[in-house]
Structures are given as structure tokens and as C-alpha cells.
Structure 1
């Protein structure tokens, strides 16, 4: 059986991401985000991603536009959606810190907390983890374009770490995280750039 190769790609910059706003508005890529995504593409229209059997994307416009800029034709996968930030959606981190400081502190320190009325980080990990577990033995080369938080919890799940460890994983726009599986568990693969 062929190993499963999963490349998790963080979508490019959006206005909300640059302004440290919680998700909500279905922002597309901003001009800089689109330029940066297009710059990742080589002459073969795959850039650093190599051969792909399947491309999946979060339902968000930024993820779909990133996949398109990379020359991929994504299928929407609901499990790759960003966290539901409830009544914090569209609001800035600074605004929440100024009006609901204790709630923000709780959310940042306790992965089970959801003071905004949406999903907790634990709920996002559970959703993404179920999807990730279902991909282990498919034997395909998959690219999944999604959100930084989704990639952070996917890495934590794949490595069997406590959910709180997601805070120690930074994912920048257009970052690529590579996971491989022979069917039983995921391995994080750190590859050198192609020569």
C-alpha cells in the first residue's frame, strides 16, 4: 500500500488576519496575500507542493483563492473550516481584550473554553482530528488548504500531544506542513527544499 502524503497549506493573508481579527467575515485574500500565493507557483503550476492526487479546501474564500492561486482545483471539506468564534467573529483581539479581558484570558489559557459562544479549541481539534484520522490510510497525495489554527491543532493531534500544545505551534500564511502515514499513525516530515 502506498503511503498517504498530506500537505497542509495555510491560506494567504487577508485583511482580517493582518488586523488580528477573529474569523467571521468570509474575507478573501488581500492584494499582498494573492501576490504571495502566486509567487509560490513554479513553471509546472505546483510550486513546492509536487504531484497531487487530491486538493481539499476549507469553505472560506481565502482558502479557495489560495488553492486557485497555487493552480489547484479544490473540493470543499467542511472539517477544514476555521474555528467558529461566535460573537467574537469579526472583532479584533484588541477590542476583545478591552471589553472582555477575563473571557479572553480564559479562552487563551483553557482549550475547552468557549466564552464567545462558538467552538472551543478542543472542539476544533476533535473535528479536525476525526477528519485527519480518516485520511491516514487512503494512499493518496493530498493538499489541504486551510486556516492557521486548523493546522496547529492538526499537528498537535497527529503527534498525540495535549491540546494546549497548539499554543506552541506557529503557522504563518502560506506555510506548508507535511504529514505522512503508512496507515497507523502520522509522522511530521521536515523536508529540504527541492534543488
Structure 2
């Protein structure tokens, strides 16, 4: 009998950075984010993990999850773009980052590196079973979805993840499936 892992990837609630199209730092939830969470029914899980950033930890706490921090779930490293608005970033650099998964003009993490990190994390999860919650960032949810589907890195920006959304993945025999409900 093979182990089955049910993984709920929960995108953290809104922040002020999201509202103004700014690359986030360790931002807290906004008033809007706290309102979003009041409308969410906490999922029933056996185990919970959270990205280490404040907005993810606050989201996990609002869900009533006693979540263990996992650095593999951390936000993509925006390098010297952290805290800057998109309009402050040179257009050519932003275009390169959005079209080339290996580009990191900000001096931080490329999308390809984020995908590799997320793929490694998913691999470590496949020997577990039960119902797991991972409160993390839209970038990590996008990466996990791309990895689970075996899609190319170029598909990363085609996955839209909104705040407080839940993406369901199941693992069995080391293989991931995306479950839509």
C-alpha cells in the first residue's frame, strides 16, 4: 500500500506591497488581508508548515495552524528590487526577468532557481503521508504547480495565484497530481 500525501498550498493574505505593485520585503498583512482571512474556513490538516516571512506566519496564525517554519517555502529573493515599486525597476531588466527563467537582473533568485528549490522541497515531501498545509507565497505556489505538472519553466508566469487561494496537490509513489475542486 502506498502512502498518500494531501498537500494544501495556501497563499498568504494581502499586503500593502501587493496593493501598490511593490516587490515585498518582510511585510505584515494589510487590513484587507486580515478581512480576507475572516472569510476563510480553516482547513482540517494533520501537519502545518509556513514560510518564515511575517505575512505567511500571520496567515498561518489566523488559520489557527500551529505551523512549523520551513525556509524552503520562503519568498523568491528579489535582490535589490526588494521594497521597490515595479515602476522603479528598469523596464528592460523587468522584461528580462519576466521572459527568461534564468535571468536575475536584480541580483536575487531567478525563476529557474526558485523552481529548483521548490522541486527539491516537493521531493522531500513525497515520503510523508496525511494532510499537510503549507502557508507560503504566490511565487512558491506557482512554482509547485509548474513542478507538479512537469511543465516547462516558461509556464511559471501563466499560473495566477491570488491571496488566500488554496492549491491542492496529492502525492503517491513519488508522483504529484493537481486536484481541482
Provide TM-score, normalisation by structure 1: 0.90
**Structure 1 residue corresponding to 2:52, chosen from 59, 77, 80:** 59
CA distance in 1, matches of 2:151, 2:95: 22
CA contact (8 A) 1:23 1:84 kept: no
Shift of 1:18: 1.0
Does the 8 Å CA contact 2:45/2:133 hold for their aligned counterparts? Answer: yes
Distance 2:14 2:36 in 1: 8
Counterparts of 2:120 and 2:91, CA distance in 1: 32
5+ long unaligned stretches in structure 2: none
Q: Which residue of 1 aligns with 2:6?
A: 5
- Alignment RMSD (CA, Å): 1.0
Q: Normalization by structure 2: what TM-score? A: 0.96
> In the comparison of the two structures, how many residue pairs are matched?
180
Unaligned runs of 5+ in 1: none
- The CA distance in 2 between the partners of 1:118 and 1:73, in whole Å, is 30
Any conservation in 2 of the 1:23–1:83 contact (CA below 8 Å)? no
Query: Deviating runs (4+, > 6 A) in structure 1?
Result: none
1:135 aligns with 2:125: yes
Q: Please name the residue that 2:162 is paired with.
A: 172
**Distance in structure 1 (CA, Å) of the matches to 2:63 and 2:38:** 6
